[in-house]
Chains A and B, each alone.
Chain A
Amino acid sequence: MADFAKRALLPAGLRDILPPGAAFEAHVIETLTAFFAANGYERVKPPLIEFEEGLLSGSGAAMSGQTFRVMDPLSHRMMGVRADMTLQVARIATTRLVNTPRPLRLAYAGQVLRVKGAQLRPARQFAQAGIELIGASTPTADAEVVLLAAEALIALGIGGVSVDLNVPTLVRAIFDEMEVDTAQRGILRDALNRKDAATVAAAGGRVGALLTGLLAAGGTCAPAMAALGKLDLPPAAALARDTLAEVIERVRTGAPDLTLTVDPVEHRGFEYHAGVGFAIFARGAAGELGRGGRYLAGEGLGVPATGATLFVDALIEILSPPSPTLRILLPVGTARSVARDLQCQQWVTVGALEPVADLVAEARRMGCSHAYLDNRPVAVDVNS
């Protein structure tokens, strides 16, 4: 027995999801995709696994270390199991759907597999649901994606949603325009990632004061943007800041009650982003619930695109579990029409397979809330 139980253990970070968890996950994914569909985003379904060159080219390089690889016995080429779906959708948009009129709105949902789980969420396989808006580079497009991602969470019933906006091109532009060398960039990046103002000031040299100013500006939206406005930024960095301000203004108008924060130095996980990015949090949630932002889709110069990915496992953790359904045990031989009628009234019907003496006791044993006795539902007292 012990041996058998041990054999049922799964590799680290993988798990069986049991009832009612699996149904709940499906429900969450359905709610999200229905919300995206209602907003004009059409569903696509890329494969689980594809050739490595396609999956990991361009912006996909960021996922290289997180991707499982196998060799395709047919073509003898390396394939990768998707660790993220954004780039697959971007590939679809820039190849198969290249002639579809822009802007193109696509939605997706599916499982991804990663080599290593995160510290906060050790799962290596989890569900993602998201949207991509391809072929539009305006702040209105950025704002649409931010708003839809936040509203999708609110539609699920998540309270206290807050969006942290960033623009990774800002620090990049400062580094470029003020000619900071690679070694110093590395040190400063590390310090900025930790919000370690002391190290930034000490190691910053001529960009130290500016970066310290950016660090200090982070926080609640309005004061943060005011503080950023006062900084004397080099031209390209100022442009990034102004774009951020335009996006924020549109998000504000669209959702006046949404909590917005600004993080001008956020970089981790946004290495390949080409404009405004964001991460979504909610009070009481241990980590990010989703993230997204502007990137370049496809090969070469790329097509302007923006998108959002929601982490379904993180959402499920903070959602209250679904209320138990009304579940009724029907005696063996009950007419199918009875079952259909009950199902129309939101009952879940379970058919007994053989006659039993005490149908109520059998219903209790089978985890049903009711038994169908004398042509009507009889409640089962679960505690007795």
Chain B
Amino acid sequence: MANDKLVIALPKGRILEEAMPLVRAAGIEPEAAFDDPNARQLRFCTNFPGVDIIRVRSFDVATFVAFGAAHLGIAGNDVLMEFDYPELYAPLDLRIGACRLAVAESVDLGADDDPARWSHIRVATKYPEITRRHFARRGVQAECIKLNGAMELAPALGLCRRIVDLVSSGKTLVANGLVEVEHIADITSRLVVNRPALKTRPEELGAWIERFREVANAR
């Protein structure tokens, strides 16, 4: 069968640095090209002949796993909340990549703004679904402008007055004259599993989940 190999999707960038020690502790060692910054390769063999690793953008980890193109993956629950794929299970909190999703606005606006009185707001964000859902629960009309990065620039340049973004230390906000005004959710990275794969290969995937659980709990 074409997809008989187990494929693990890992996110590029920030989370990867924290995820790799867990992956290695679980006994998975990718081929040398994985750590070579000049390599163009996207799919990598590992020390397990039946296990491959792919490296994709963090939003795409959820998509690859949800559609069964990859079987396991590591994704932040920001991505999981945004897509809410029914075919995706997140059985394990790896407790890495911790940060929070928050609403921020410019310091000047923040001084006399009362979030409880908002009725209609315009927000720049990478997370239009989470943002809409969050404000809908509060009865606030949110008009979202989808950006893929550098959200912090939007208020200063007049694109909109508020943003919804990930905040870890808060330094980027401060550097751009922004202040956090509302907390939406705490974010950590999760081990995600494709539902049909878990149902059809229960022993194999169950064993990997267990292995990651032991590794994550040992930290």
Contact partner of A268 (CB less than 8 A), chosen from B1, B86, B190, is B86
| Complex interface bits, B59-79 against A, C-beta within 8 A gives 1, otherwise 0 | 000000011100000000000
Residue of B nearest to A160 (CB): B200
Q: How far is the CA of A283 from the CA of B92 in the complex (A)?
A: 24
When distances are taken between beta carbons in the complex, the residues of chain B under 8 Å from A194 are 80, 88-90
Tell me whether B190 and A279 are in contact (CB under 8 A): no
Q: How far is the CA of A194 from the CA of B200 in the complex (A)?
A: 18
When distances are taken between beta carbons in the complex, the residues of chain A under 8 Å from B82 are none
* B149 close to chain A: CB less than 8 A: no
Q: Which of A254-269 contact B (CB under 8 A)?
A: 259, 261, 263, 268
User: Which of A91-99, A195-203, A345-353, A372-380 contacts its partner?
Assistant: A195-203
Given contacts A119-B66, A287-B196, contact A196 B203 (CB under 8 A): no
When distances are taken between beta carbons in the complex, the residues of chain A under 8 Å from B4 are 283
Tell me whether B200 and A259 are in contact (CB under 8 A): yes
Least Cβ–Cβ distance between B175 and chain A, in angstroms: 32
* B206 close to chain A: CB less than 8 A: yes
Tell me whether B203 and A287 are in contact (CB under 8 A): no
Tell me whether A196 and B86 are in contact (CB under 8 A): no
Q: How far is the CA of A196 from the CA of B92 in the complex (A)?
A: 7
Least Cβ–Cβ distance between A77 and chain B, in angstroms: 33
| Complex interface bits, B4-41 against A, C-beta within 8 A gives 1, otherwise 0 | 10000000000000000000000000000000000000
Tell me whether B200 and A120 are in contact (CB under 8 A): no
Q: How far is the CA of A219 from the CA of B203 in the complex (A)?
A: 8
Q: Which of A195-234 contact B (CB under 8 A)?
A: 195-198, 215, 219-220
Tell me whether A281 and B93 are in contact (CB under 8 A): no
Tell me whether B87 and A220 are in contact (CB under 8 A): no
Residue of B nearest to A162 (CB): B200
Given contacts A119-B86, A268-B86, contact A286 B196 (CB under 8 A): yes
Interface range for B: 20 to 34
* A285 close to chain B: CB less than 8 A: yes
Q: How many residues of A contact B (CB 8 A)?
A: 28
When distances are taken between beta carbons in the complex, the residues of chain B under 8 Å from A284 are 1-3
Tell me whether A119 and B203 are in contact (CB under 8 A): no
When distances are taken between beta carbons in the complex, the residues of chain B under 8 Å from A119 are 66, 85-87
Tell me whether A220 and B201 are in contact (CB under 8 A): no
Q: How far is the CA of A194 from the CA of B201 in the complex (A)?
A: 18
| Complex interface bits, B193-214 against A, C-beta within 8 A gives 1, otherwise 0 | 1001001111100100000000
Least Cβ–Cβ distance between A301 and chain B, in angstroms: 31
Tell me whether A195 and B206 are in contact (CB under 8 A): no
When distances are taken between beta carbons in the complex, the residues of chain B under 8 Å from A281 are 196, 199-200
Tell me whether A261 and B91 are in contact (CB under 8 A): no
Given contacts A263-B199, A281-B200, A288-B196, 19 further A-B contacts (CB under 8 A): A119-B85, A119-B86, A119-B87, A120-B66, A120-B67, A160-B1, A162-B199, A162-B200, A194-B88, A195-B89, A197-B93, A220-B206, A259-B200, A259-B202, A261-B202, A283-B1, A284-B1, A287-B68, A287-B87
Interface residues of B (CB under 8 A from A): 1-4, 66-68, 80, 85-93, 190, 193, 196, 199-203, 206
28 residue pairs from A and B, CB less than 8 Å apart:
A119-B85, A119-B87, A120-B66, A120-B67, A162-B199, A194-B88, A195-B193, A196-B93, A196-B190, A197-B91, A215-B91, A219-B202, A219-B206, A261-B202, A263-B199, A268-B86, A279-B199, A281-B200, A282-B200, A283-B1, A283-B200, A284-B1, A284-B3, A285-B196, A286-B67, A287-B68, A287-B87, A288-B196
